[in-house]
Amino acid sequence: MDKLTLLFEEFIMKAITMTEAILECDFSQGTQLDSFTENRERLLQIIEKISVQIDWNEVTDEKRADLNRQIEYIKKLDEKLLVKLQEYQATLKLEIDQTSRSRENIKGYNLNDVK
C-alpha cells in the first residue's frame, strides 16, 4: 500500500483518538480545550494536504470504504463534541449570569449605615 495512504490512515486514527479523549475531559480545563483545538486543526490540515496527494484510483475499494467509515465516525464524534460544547457554554452563561446578579445585589448594600 502507498505510504501516503498509510500516513493518511494513521492521522485519521490520531484525529479519532484525540476527539474521543477530549469528549472524556472536563471542559473547565480551558487550556486543555485550547490545546486540543489548535492541535486538531493542524492535524486536519495535514490530513487534507495528504488526501490531495493520494491517487485514490490506486487505493482498493475496501480500503476506501474503511477510510470513509473512519471519517464518518469522526463526523459523529464531532456532533457529540458540539453538543458537549453547547452544554458547557450554557453552563458558563448561567454561572456568569449568577455572578453578575450577585454582584448587583452586593452593590445594593449601603455599608455606611452599619454602626
Encode pLDDT of 49-85 as tens digits: 999 999 999 999 999 999 999 999 999 999 999 999 9
Mean pLDDT of the 103-112 span: 68
Report if residue 115 sits inside a domain: no
Q: How many folded domains does the chain comprise?
A: 1
- What pLDDT was estimated at residue 114? 56
Residue of higher predicted confidence among 11 and 108: 11
Residue 17, domain member (yes or no): yes
Q: Does 115 score more than 60 pLDDT? A: no
- For the chain, what is the mean pLDDT? 88
Q: Is 22 exposed, middle or buried (0-12, 13-18, 19+ CB in 10 A)?
A: buried
pLDDT surpasses 70 at 89 = yes
Tell me which residue range forms the domain holding 56. 3-107
